[in-house]
Amino acid sequence: MKKLADKIKRVGLLGNSGKVSCAHAVARAARLIRATGREIFSDAATARLAHLRGPVCPDAAALASAADLLLVFGGDGTLLRAAREIAGSQTPLLGINIGGLGFLTAVSSADLPRALKQVWNGEFKFENRALIEARASCGGKRVQQTAFNDLVISRGVASRLIELHVSVDDEPLTRYRCDGLIVSSPTGSTAYSLAAGGALVFPTADVFQLTPICPHTLTNRSLILPLTSTIRIKVMTPKHVTILSADGQIVAELNAGDQIEICRSRRTVRLMHLRESSFFESLRVKLHWRGANL
């Protein structure tokens, strides 16, 4: 990997402008990177946040095109947004965690000098992660949205169950009566799906996970499906609004008769992992899977 490391000449910095604590970490990273003779790029919001000098790109997609590596500062939400915006790019992302749990932002901001040294030494690997995609018909209008973690169909403000008819590859599965349904990518198994009782899935496994939220039928459990499947969901609830969201961001309001088709996206996201980091290490550290004496 040392040869690959030597090709990293231009580093993009993308921060969460809503987190003041990001400013110090981004500015520190800029100093450390410039000290190695590499060039710094950033988007306009990050440049203002950390008072950076150097080339400024209009958005994350342009930043990914200009850089050989993109450092994303914030929490998992910031990295999810960046992943959606640069979907399909071969520029790798490395998440720098500014507080919070951080399953995707694996590097703590406190460990930034050591992490960058590992990058320059080639002590890393790349991993391609699958994205999932929803195509919906909402009141006659077509909606298309990509997600890194999950796509969720959920009830609106009314505290009433919604009804969703679900089929997989044109075969009927079931009719859920629930607060909502989470369709997660392999990466998204540690997010909302886990909180709703879903299984943990290795992030490079080629599977979807369907997890109902508070289903009225107790036998409705989380279901693992091949990532090659096409999932079709029809809203059956007649009287109140249902919401489609992607990675926690509202995409559209759905009404009775609206349909959502979910499949694997043709685009992927490329993540950088440092030598000692792994999914199992994250489980041990972040979920405290260390064992206990009874």
Distance CA 103, CA 90 (A): 21
Contact 254, 231 (CB under 8 A): no
Coil, strand or helix: which one is 276?
A: coil
Compute the distance between CA of residue 292 and CA of residue 294 in angstroms, rounded to an integer. Answer: 6
Please compute, for residue 82, the number of CA atoms within 13 A of its CA located in the half-sphere on the CB side. 34
Sign for the CA dihedral angle at 67, 70, 73, 78 comes to positive
Angle between helices 112-120 and 21-34 (to 10 degrees): 30
Establish whether 150 is a catalytic residue.
no
Which tokens in the block code for residue 259?
A: 């349909």
Q: Which of 76, 150, 247, 258 is catalytic?
A: 76
User: Active-site residue numbers?
Assistant: 76
